[in-house]
Structure 1
Amino acid sequence: MPRSNSSNRLQRLERLTAQLKAEPFCIIKDLARQLGVSERTLARDLALLREQGLPVEADRGRGGGVRLDRRWGVGRLNLAYAEAVDLLIGIEVAQKMGSPIFLASLESVRRQLIASFSADKRERVEALKSRILVGVTASTYVQVSASPPPDLVIKALHQAFMDKERLDIRYQREDLEVSERQIEPHYLLLKYPVWYVIAFDHLRSEPRTFRCDRILSASLTGTRFRLRPLDEFTHIWNGEDLRV
């Protein structure tokens, strides 16, 4: 019985913490009812959360409620390396597109992210950034026919691109013909809002471009490839002005 009570309380504390983070202000009576406990038990739970470092504030002037310190969480963001790289590359893409909205703040975030990396990781990030290209906006025809790629495809493509690993894909052409390919995803090209993979296609033994949303499935092969220079692929976009 004590073990069950302890488990129940841990689960309740997790729910309580999530609720406080999700809501700007919580009424004590409503919170106790949602958790299925008395207000006295809720008060003990809140006291325990304070002891554990969660900055719970009481606001008795508004019907007896609680909330987290509004300043809590600022500066506490903790990103994994892959997450930080994704965020940094997203910022770089926004800057390459020349969007004037929020760029001042994004530049500050970009500098802080770069400063958080070690020297060798900065080099890796710079190498990744150089492989992401931004071209002209996609035509209306292309935009209308585009759709988000499946999550599993995005995940496999993301890893293959970062690790320089060959990818087995099933690809559907515009005429709906489906073929199986093994590709090396050397570069990514954004023609907003559509992403393309600029790859070496082992089926055709030459560079090809694949629309990401036409990749039906993708799986990693475990075989790495050596990055080919960008000038081997320039004929693909026929002199289009790209931002690298």
Structure 2
Amino acid sequence: MTKTNFKHRVDRRNRLLGLLRSEQHWTTSDLREHLNVSQRTLMRELASLREEGYPIDADRGRGGGVRLASRWGIERLILNHKEVIELLLALSLVESLPLPFMTNNLKEIKQKLYQVFPESERSRISQVRKRIFVNTHVSSIAPYQPVETHIDISQASCEAFFEQRCLNIKYVSESKTFSSRTIEPHYLMLAW
């Protein structure tokens, strides 16, 4: 498929989705007319959308038609690698809390997010998850005192953790001694 044909198909698919969202029911003849396609092409596009998870209903007979199920409320999201990691991290946090609500579908949601990644990336994401610990009670850590800084140290250390690279830091010890080190964050422990 050429680049032009691919773009044309993507545009046609977006127009089809827009039409399905805009009205309660569409006849296939009306959809064909709006999209300027054959019956076969339209049926192929509808089947492809169903395979991709779009809940497309078709009612036969007079007054029937094709529609996107009315309960379909979320668009396809386009997230970058970092955003998906942060979303998985947030889901892990919520999952670790003893909440009586909002936890029934987390496993399925996380599985769907993993499926977004290519096969080669899934093992990497799985390895990152194994290096994240969530704890609700930590008493052995000294109280954290935030300091004035020109960068967000938590963001920098999280990026180093996720990207598996070293980080140069400067800090003040409890005895007020200044020090500079290169660290390699192996684990991330979240606690409150």
Give the TM-score category using the shorter length.
0.5 to 0.7
1:112 match: 112
| 1:81-128 alpha-carbon deviations (Å, 9 max, x no partner) | 211121112212332444444111333321221121221111010010
| 1:12-66 alpha-carbon deviations (Å, 9 max, x no partner) | xxxxxxxxxxxxxxxxxxxxxxxxxxxxxxxxxxxxxxxxx6x89xxxxxxxxxx
Q: Which runs of 5+ in 1 are unaligned?
A: 1-52, 57-69, 194-244
2:172 match: 172
| 1:161-192 alpha-carbon deviations (Å, 9 max, x no partner) | 122211110122334433111111111112x2
CA displacement at 1:72 relative to structure 2: 8.8
1:102 match: 102
Q: 1:110 to 1:182 in 2, by over 3 A?
A: same
Q: 1:165 to 1:95 in 2, by over 3 A?
A: same
1:78 match: 78
In the alignment, structure 1 residue 187 sits paired with structure 2 residue 191: no
Q: Which runs of 5+ in 2 are unaligned?
A: 1-17, 23-69
Q: 1:147 to 1:94 in 2, by over 3 A?
A: farther
Question: In 2, distance between residues paired with 1:140 and 1:187?
Answer: 17
Give the secondary-structure state (helix, strand or coil) at the position aligned to 1:91. Answer: helix
2:123 match: 123
Q: 1:153 to 1:71 in 2, by over 3 A?
A: farther
Which segment is superposed worse, 115-124 or 145-154? 145-154
Counterpart code for 2:126: E
Q: How does 1:49-88 map to 2 (within 5 A)?
A: 74-88=74-88
Number of residues of Structure 1 aligned to a counterpart in Structure 2: 126
TM-score normalised over the length of structure 1? 0.42
Q: What is the root-mean-square deviation in Å for CA atoms of aligned residues?
A: 3.5
Asked whether the equivalents of residues 91 and 106 of structure 1 are also in contact (C-alpha less than 8 Å), the reply is yes
CA displacement at 1:155 relative to structure 2: 2.9
Question: In 2, distance between residues paired with 1:94 and 1:76?
Answer: 23
Question: In 2, distance between residues paired with 1:137 and 1:189?
Answer: 11
Which segment is superposed worse, 161-170 or 106-115? 106-115
Question: In 2, distance between residues paired with 1:176 and 1:186?
Answer: 26
Aligned-pair identity in percent equals 29
TM-score normalised over the length of structure 2? 0.52
In the alignment, structure 1 residue 134 sits paired with structure 2 residue 134: yes
Counterpart code for 1:182: T
Asked whether the equivalents of residues 167 and 182 of structure 1 are also in contact (C-alpha less than 8 Å), the reply is yes
In the alignment, structure 1 residue 89 sits paired with structure 2 residue 89: yes
